[in-house]
Amino acid sequence: MVSWFDESRLDDGEVLAGIDESLRALAETGARVRREASEAQSAITEAVARTQDSPRPRAVLAAGPDSRLLRAVLEPWCPVPFVAWPSPNLPGWAGSLDLVVVLAPDGHGAGVASAVAEAVRRGCQVVVACPAGSQVAEHAAGRWSSVLPTVSRDQLATAVVVLEYLERVALGPRTDAEAVATALDEVATECSPFRDLAVNPAKMLAIAMADTNPVVWGGSVLAARAARRIAESIRRASGRGALAGDAEHLLPVLEAARPVDTFADPFTDGPATGERRPMLLVLDDGSEEAVVREERGRLQAAAAARGVRVERLTTDAPTEVARYASLYLSGSYAAQYLHLGLVDE
């Protein structure tokens, strides 16, 4: 089956109505973050109060969906060792000296519930963000446990709740849920389906990706995490290949691209034959670290040498988490518009 991209569909109200539910879910991301953070404040305050007379934990262990996001945020900052643990069985060293934080937006899952129950049994300090009354909340009952109730089942909003708690116990950086929500609202406005493609960055990016296999790169730890999530969204939305990784893993892909032939016939070469060239998508969260600048320069030089198109997503949000959220939501909008514009024959 051959597919082609019809950019006129991106401004067609009737066609856009077909993915209204998906676009509405993206647009409401900021509202979900704001709601979860607001409704969890009293529970966070109670959880923080329980730690007042307790020593700082020996280590922080995170489990559940998006625990790797917590790791990306906390590893450069957390004053104690931090581990993201995907297995339902906790590591043997975890015990009463350690803090276990769990993200369970759905509140269900035998693996997550098992990890929570084991943490309680070992006497760990446990903080769980999940719906009240859920399977995971029931397994979290214990003397040293705190449940931060959530209702939206949104992974990012749930992660922000946990990060707010960790900030208040001096184990994490400034989160500022309102800044995260505001950054997400700004992306929703800029990428709204009601904005013409000429001034809509997500629609323009979708057009740029239409006949390519995107190669997505982010230099900082959080931008790299956003790159992986965006590549996943592109694959899921379009059924096409999209890669994300470190510069050393992406350089061979760019360097293997066939150089652009100035005299190539567009009707017999390139996309018309089914070949899709790579496109480098750079996620720029404002990091100016020397390593980030050097890797970005190498990737862009390799792309220029092979005539590979380069696109950028940027953000000026005030906090690291807000910048991550902004980049990820922008890429998610572009993936939806890519899906919308593809037409199968």
Whole-angstrom distance, CA of residue 11 vs CA of residue 137: 44
Q: Would you say 128 and 138 are in contact if contact means Cβ atoms under 8 Å apart?
A: no
Fold observed for domain 41-149: Rossmann fold (3.40.50)
Predicted confidence (pLDDT) per residue in 100-158, tens digit: 999 999 999 888 999 999 999 999 999 999 999 999 999 999 999 999 999 999 999 99
On the question of pLDDT at 236 being above 50, the answer is: yes
Distances (CA, A) of 100 to 44, 156, 230: 15, 19, 28
Question: What is the pTM (predicted TM-score) of this model?
Answer: 0.93
**Percentage of residues in the chain with pLDDT exceeding 70?**
95
Positive or negative torsion for Cα 271, 274, 277, 278? positive
Domains of the chain by residue range: 3-29+180-344, 41-149
Q: What pLDDT does residue 272 have? A: 47
Q: What is the CATH architecture of 3-29+180-344?
A: 3-Layer(aba) Sandwich (3.40)
Answer yes or no: same fold for 3-29+180-344 and 41-149: yes
List helix spans (H) across 169-312.
177-190, 201-209, 221-238, 247-255, 290-306
On the question of pLDDT at 267 being above 60, the answer is: no
